Structure 1
Amino acid sequence: MDIINRVTDLIQANLVSALDKAEDPEKLLNLLIQQMQQTLDECRSTAAVILCEEKALKREQAQKQVSIDSWQTKAELAVAKGRDDLATAALKEKQHVSDELAAIEPELVKLADSLKKLQDDAQRLQSKLTEAKAKQASLQKVHNLLDARMRVNHQLNSEKIADALSRFDVIERRVESIESQVDAYDMTKTQSSTAEQIDALVKDEAIEQEFAALKVKMKQTA
């Protein structure tokens, strides 16, 4: 069956190796998941068809068994009535139906085998699909992370940030200039105050010396 062959091919596919060789792993993975899901849906549809055929054959099998029993009863009745010719005809019909009944059993076995293989392959394919979806989620996380990093890098490299940093540098230089002026003023003021105090001391000393000389002169005059 084509469906079983497709299931086998998908199950045997080396997912990791295929992704490593792919130029666009995410795109390939999405395609594989789509194929797996479609094939899995076909598996279920095919299984439903097989089950219907199996039920139909079992109904036919039961009907033929009833027919065999009926021909057997008719053959017995014909013998009891002394109609050997009818009994022989009834037995021939019974044999014909029996042959048809015997042909049904191999068909049922074949359907059962196909259904079993299809169910096993579908289960394995479901496991493979789960693995692929987990890988898809992992790749999506990586993609989201890279996308977030790209957005951050773009923002960090944007002209707005560069302009803001440039303006900040200008403001910072102005603040430093003002601080330097204040420091220079404080330093000059301190130096000026010190000089004034020293001048005052010098003046005081001169006055004291003049006062002392004046007292000496007045004593000499007296």
Structure 2
Amino acid sequence: MGVFKRLRDLTMASINDLLDKAEDPVKMLNQFLRDMEQDILDAEAAVAKQIAVEKKFKQQVEEAQDLVEKRQLQAEKALEQGNEDLARRALQDKKEHQTRYDEMKGQYDIAKQNADRLRAQLDEMKDEFNKMKNKKDLLVARAEAAKAQKSINQVMSGFGTDNAARGFDRMSDKVAQLEAEAQAAGELKDKNRSLDDELAKLDQNDGVEDELAALKAKVAAKKDPQ
């Protein structure tokens, strides 16, 4: 039947083959599941129609059987009351209902077989759909992991390249130049500070020399009272 075609087509192998050509595996997997869900709905409608046919024939079979049994009892009752003609007519009608029963029973058996087969196929579709859902979860996880790995690989492909290394070398030279300039400026400042310190010492007088000169004059005066 056409409604079961995708059940045969969407095997694990065919899905993996389609995924190889898909731009977005996750979207494709979701679409596959939506298609299968629609197929299941179509199949359920077909099964429902066949079940309705089965029930109709079953009802007709039961009605014919009831009439056969009813005419049998009526024929017996007619004979008990001595009405052979009525019994004969009841048996004749019973025969007609028996023929109808046999015909309806054959049609019912065929309808039931078809309904049972469609039920089994529908159950098979639902089982396959559940397997695909589980498979989809696994494939989605693999796809997401692959995307993450691809992104990392793309970033890493440009990480630590020659351009970056040369850039670091230039910055290292720049830092070294700045350090040298800072050191030179410091040495110049220290040199200027030393000269200023020596010149400043010429003018330094803490009073000791003056006091020493006065003491010398006093001592000399004692030695020479003139």
TM-score (norm 1): 0.60
Alignment partner of 1:93 is 2:96? yes
- The CA distance in 2 between the partners of 1:42 and 1:85, in whole Å, is 52
Alignment partner of 1:82 is 2:81? no
Q: CA deviation at 1:5?
A: 2.8
Unaligned regions of 5+ residues in structure 2, if any?
A: 158-167, 203-226
One-letter amino acid matched to 1:183: G
Q: CA deviation at 1:127?
A: 0.9
Distance 1:151 1:181, change over 3 A: same
Q: CA deviation at 1:82?
A: 0.7
Identity across matched positions, percent: 16
- The CA distance in 2 between the partners of 1:13 and 1:74, in whole Å, is 66
Distance 1:40 1:173, change over 3 A: farther
Distance 1:59 1:92, change over 3 A: closer
- The CA distance in 1 between the partners of 2:91 and 2:181, in whole Å, is 130
Render the CA deviation track for 1:148-171: whole Å, top value 9, x for unaligned: 887999xxxxxxxxxxx9xx99x9
One-letter amino acid matched to 2:63: Q
TM-score (norm 2): 0.59
One-letter amino acid matched to 1:6: R
Q: CA deviation at 1:123?
A: 0.9
Q: CA deviation at 1:116?
A: 1.5
Aligned residue in 2 for 1:218: none
Whether the 8 Å CA contact 2:67–2:94 is kept in 1: the answer is: no
Whether the 8 Å CA contact 1:50–1:111 is kept in 2: the answer is: yes
- The CA distance in 2 between the partners of 1:147 and 1:124, in whole Å, is 34
Q: Secondary structure at the match of 2:84?
A: coil
Task: Identify the match of residue 188 of structure 1 among 184, 188, 191.
Answer: 191
Render the CA deviation track for 1:87-123: whole Å, top value 9, x for unaligned: 3422322322321234312321221122122212321
Whether the 8 Å CA contact 2:72–2:91 is kept in 1: the answer is: no
Unaligned regions of 5+ residues in structure 1, if any?
A: 154-164, 201-222
Render the CA deviation track for 1:40-97: whole Å, top value 9, x for unaligned: 3333444444444444443333333222222322333444411154134223223223
Aligned residue in 2 for 1:32: 32
1:143-182, aligned counterparts within 5 Å?
143=147, 176=179, 179-182=182-185
Alignment partner of 1:106 is 2:110? yes
Q: CA deviation at 1:23?
A: 4.9
Render the CA deviation track for 1:114-136: whole Å, top value 9, x for unaligned: 21222123212321233124313
- Give the stretch that moved more between structures: 103-112 or 26-35: 26-35
One-letter amino acid matched to 2:84: G
Task: Identify the match of residue 120 of structure 2 among 108, 116, 119.
Answer: 116
Distance 1:130 1:49, change over 3 A: farther
- The CA distance in 1 between the partners of 2:28 and 2:135, in whole Å, is 14
Q: CA deviation at 1:7?
A: 1.8
Whether the 8 Å CA contact 1:68–1:97 is kept in 2: the answer is: no
